[in-house]
Structure 1
Amino acid sequence: MRRVLLALVLLLGAICPAWAAEPKRQVIIDDEGFAIPHLMLLEDPRVDVLGITTVSGNVWANRATAMVLRGLELLGRTEVPVAEGATFPLLNSEARTERWEALYGKMVWKGAFMKQWAEPTAQSTPPYHGPFDPVDLPWGNPKLKALNEPAAQFLIRTVRAHPHQVTIIASGPLTNLALAQRLDPEFASLVKELIIMGGSLAPRQVLEGKSAADFAREFVNTPRREFNIRFDPEAASMAAHAPWPKVTIVPSDPSTATQLSPALLERLAKASRPPVAAFLRRMEPGFPMWDEIAVAVWLDPGIVTKSERLWYDFNTDFGAGYGDMLTWHDAYRPHLDEGQADVVLSVDVARMETLMAKALGER
């Protein structure tokens, strides 16, 4: 009998993928919508998505929550809990943003505050909504409901239930993380790792073509500004001073070498099961792949071709540099409890696109 059992174990080990024997990596997604990065994590059998928290950023939190709930319904992943987060930044507001622009110039992207592009662009103009406007999604409204619990409280409860095991991938403004840390001073220290898509050092246009240039042009004169941080600079600075055991930052820099092209969207759709493919074919192409890089770096750190370990914070003075990323090498840091992170500067784009396709089912 022992020989039979041993043979069975050896046989299963030979025919099952290597990841089948490994414990799943636990993650919480903190973001302001539902897109390819969510699909990558939800479809990857090696990943256990413990929950999705929403926050205002590209859209208001109520709209982001509806998008996530509907996305989970379409994917058949209704068991994943969703907690709606902060509707407003800690201090910044639409009125303050308009006043800032009157003083210091127009921003390329303003997310939920966006009414029109400053100049003609290849991307469509998003519809403008108020923070409490009713939500009516073009791909159907969800029947699934969010938890009756704020995102900050969900983050605290889930991390405390799995201490030192949970990665948080924050691909939107950091309002929820700042609130969670203020509510529970031990919160950050109990997280395994924080991945931030935000900040900017010195991006340059890499790809040719109007779609690629539309976003790269922002960095010519304002290389340190990035939307996720600029939407809530106070929250970003608070998060920078929290005691995370490990932080990886994906700033805008590597995104200028990427583009969600029609060809890539079709490749991902062909790799996916039908409900995912239908979702992908509704997406607008032409945007850089900001959040996709953050998720890909976590799934496969080997895609990183250049990174630098830096001390970091974010500018909260309401001046021309409001929301800009601040960074220092060891000898120059101010020693005011600023954070330290591995900052991703470039990635292997072809390897990343293959990783995306494989996460969605390409064989």
Structure 2
Amino acid sequence: MKPGFFSRITRHCLLGLGLAGACVPALAHAEQADRLVIFDDDGFALAQWMVLKSPHVKVLGFATVSGDFWQKEATAYALRGLEIANKTDVPVVPGATYPLMNSEKLTERWEALYGKLIWKGAWMKKWVEKTNQPLPPYHPADIVPDLPWGNPKLKPSAENAASFMLRMVHQYPGQITIIESGPMTNLALAQKMDPQFASLAKELVYMGGSLNPQQKLNSPAAAQFAREFVNSPRREFNIRFDPEAASIVMHAPWKHILMVPVDPSTETEMSAEFVKDITQSDTPIARIMRKSANNFPLWDEIAAAVWLDPSLIRTSAELYVDVNTAFSAQYGDILSWMEGYQPGLDEQKEKVVLTVDVPRMKALIKELIAQP
């Protein structure tokens, strides 16, 4: 979907009086062809707002899972995010609190054997090295701290995320995209509950995993981020938090899988300059985003953007992908093979995004934030 595409169609229909009759069926068809999507994530921010504000996209719901935050905190962020976007009719459906097998104690045991992890999400008590970032807000799973955006009044759905996603793919077979930008626990539970789950969805788009990221920007934040992958280029948090779930999902019979690994994100940064440029409009989301310059790469935003406009993908590869689930030094690392080299244990072929058109993606984000 090109930025401004639908607004240009509308403008031409209004100005081209002689073609007005011809425009009506096209617009009616576009309205009938809304793209259906469910977002599954361990937080809520710009990527979700991008999808919410995109024309001809219907968000069926937001599922939540533990990862960067505990599930209850992620749920609170999603509820508040919908209030800010004035989309309170979209359900927020709580999902898994804990990974299938991994745990905080197992992670600490792993670190004692194989070295410190840079980021552990909800299990993060302190930074290993000196950093400009504040201390992680470590707390128990059932505690929800006050949110910086204000606390939500909206309440979550009483349904659980796995059941919700199953119900939706049965209701709209072959029509729903699932965008996964957190650990895959909910997806794995849904697949185990009903082996038809993946095959009934239209596609899976996920941000997770890593192949061989390289530093592309010269900022201090980019240099600090790049150090994470110098010695462990295949390790990424979303997959590492629940490797067993990710492996289950990657063996499921999806019609199409689009993987957005860390690799393309090294050309991006949520810098003060970037934030200032994309928030020139005066919308509620723009006002919130003006305070969001954290200098992190645009991980989830890339996944949302390339789903909204696949032409933003500059280079990609077709690979079979899995996850190392052995409790070894490579636990949670991505495994990948070209055609013919995979083990043949139902690994699925994935389209892996390697680079994206960053200027055009920035323009798309800016346009979506400015939507009333």
The TM-score with structure 2 as length reference comes to 0.91
Aligned length: 356
Cα pair distance change 1:12/1:198, threshold 3 Å? farther
Match 1:322 to one of 308, 322, 331? 331
Give the deviation of 1:340 after TM superposition.
Answer: 1.1
Q: Gaps (5+ residues) in structure 2?
A: 1-15
Give the deviation of 1:17 after TM superposition.
Answer: 9.6
Match of 1:73 in 2: 83
Match of 1:145 in 2: 155
Distance 2:26 2:218 in 1: 40
Match of 1:357 in 2: 366
Cα pair distance change 1:157/1:16, threshold 3 Å? same
Cα pair distance change 1:8/1:249, threshold 3 Å? same
Question: Is 2:245 the counterpart of 1:252?
Answer: no
Distance 1:362 1:274 in 2: 8
Match of 1:340 in 2: 349
Give the deviation of 1:257 after TM superposition.
Answer: 1.0
Q: Gaps (5+ residues) in structure 1?
A: 1-6
Match of 1:3 in 2: none
Moved over 4 A (4+): 12-20
Give the deviation of 1:136 after TM superposition.
Answer: 2.0
- Within a 5 Å distance, the mapping from 1:207-226 to structure 2 comes to 207-226=217-236
Distance 2:183 2:214 in 1: 23
Question: Is 2:286 the counterpart of 1:281?
Answer: no
Distance 1:112 1:144 in 2: 23
Question: Is 2:120 the counterpart of 1:110?
Answer: yes
SS class of match (2:266): helix
Distance 1:276 1:134 in 2: 22
Distance 2:28 2:266 in 1: 32
Give the deviation of 1:143 after TM superposition.
Answer: 1.2
Distance 2:221 2:22 in 1: 47
Give the deviation of 1:123 after TM superposition.
Answer: 2.8
Match of 1:168 in 2: 178
Distance 1:105 1:75 in 2: 42
Question: Is 2:340 the counterpart of 1:331?
Answer: yes
1:306-359 Cα deviation digits (max 9, x unpaired): 110001100000110000000011121100011210001111111111111122
SS class of match (1:316): coil
- Within a 5 Å distance, the mapping from 1:98-137 to structure 2 comes to 98-137=108-147
SS class of match (1:310): strand
- Within a 5 Å distance, the mapping from 1:175-324 to structure 2 comes to 175-271=185-281, 273-324=282-333
Distance 2:371 2:355 in 1: 24
Cα pair distance change 1:17/1:269, threshold 3 Å? farther
Letter in 1 for 2:348: G
Cα pair distance change 1:333/1:349, threshold 3 Å? same
Distance 1:123 1:39 in 2: 24
Match of 1:39 in 2: 49
Distance 2:280 2:290 in 1: 10
Give the deviation of 1:299 after TM superposition.
Answer: 0.9
Distance 1:293 1:134 in 2: 28
Distance 2:148 2:288 in 1: 12
Contact 1:54–1:61 (8 Å) recurs in 2: yes
Give the deviation of 1:139 after TM superposition.
Answer: 2.1
SS class of match (2:49): helix
1:89-143 Cα deviation digits (max 9, x unpaired): 0011111111111111111111111111111223333211111114322322111
Distance 1:168 1:142 in 2: 25
Contact 2:258–2:350 (8 Å) recurs in 1: yes
Moved more, 274-283 or 309-318: 274-283
**In percent, how many aligned pairs have the same letter?**
54
Match of 2:20 in 1: 11
1:229-264 Cα deviation digits (max 9, x unpaired): 000000000001111000000001111111011122
SS class of match (1:211): helix
SS class of match (2:76): helix
Letter in 1 for 2:265: S
Contact 1:28–1:50 (8 Å) recurs in 2: yes
